[in-house]
Structure 1
Amino acid sequence: MANVLILGAHGKIAQLVETQLLAETDHHLTLFLRNADRLNVTDSKRETVIEGDAADKGELIKALDGIDIVYANLSGKNIEDQAKAVVSAIDRTNVQRLIWISTLGIYDEVPGNFGKWNHQQLDGGYLETYGAAAKVIEESDLDYTIIRPAWLSNKDIVSYETTQKGEPFKGTEVSRKSIADLVVSLINDPSKEIRHSLGVNQPNTDGDKPSFY
Structure 2
Amino acid sequence: MKITVVGGHGSIAMLMHPMLIENDHQVRGIIRKEEQADDLREVGVEPVVCDIEEVDDISEAVGNVDAVVFAAGAGPGSGAARKWSVDRDGAIKLIEAAKANSINRYVMISAMGTNNPRGNEVFKAYLKAKAEADEALRNSGLDYTIVKPGRLTDESGTGKVTIGRDLSSGEIPRKDVARVLIKVLETPEAAGYQFDLTSGDTTINEAIQNLINN
SS in 2 for 1:66: coil
Q: Which runs of 5+ in 2 are unaligned?
A: 75-82, 202-214
Which of 108, 112, 116 is matched with 1:100 structurally?
108
When you count helix as a share of all residues, which structure comes out higher? 2
Contact 1:69–1:97, Cα closer than 8 Å, also in 2? yes
In the alignment, which residue of structure 1 is the partner of 2:18?
19
SS in 2 for 1:185: helix
Alpha carbons of structure 1 residues 97 and 107: separation in structure 2 relative to 1, 3 Å: same
- TM-score, with length taken from structure 1: 0.80
Contact 2:70–2:91, Cα closer than 8 Å, also in 1? no
Which of 82, 86, 97 is matched with 2:94 structurally?
86
SS in 1 for 2:119: helix
SS in 1 for 2:47: strand
Which of 176, 189, 193 is matched with 1:192 structurally?
189
In the alignment, which residue of structure 1 is the partner of 2:2?
3
Contact 1:102–1:147, Cα closer than 8 Å, also in 2? yes
Cα distance in 2, alignment partners of residues 4 and 87 from structure 1: 14
Number of positions where the alignment pairs a residue of Structure 1 with one of Structure 2: 186
Contact 2:5–2:30, Cα closer than 8 Å, also in 1? yes
In the alignment, which residue of structure 1 is the partner of 2:119?
120
**Cα RMSD, aligned residues only:** 1.9
Cα distance in 1, alignment partners of residues 152 and 141 from structure 2: 29
- TM-score, with length taken from structure 2: 0.80
SS in 2 for 1:95: coil
* Offset at residue 57 of structure 1 (A): 4.1
Q: Deviations over 1:24-61 (max 9, x none)?
A: 31111111110131241125xx5211000224342x21
Q: Which runs of 5+ in 1 are unaligned?
A: 109-117, 205-213
In the alignment, which residue of structure 2 is the partner of 1:210?
none
Q: Deviations over 1:62-116 (max 9, x none)?
A: 12332001011011211221122111111112100000001100123xxxxxxxx
In the alignment, which residue of structure 2 is the partner of 1:161?
162
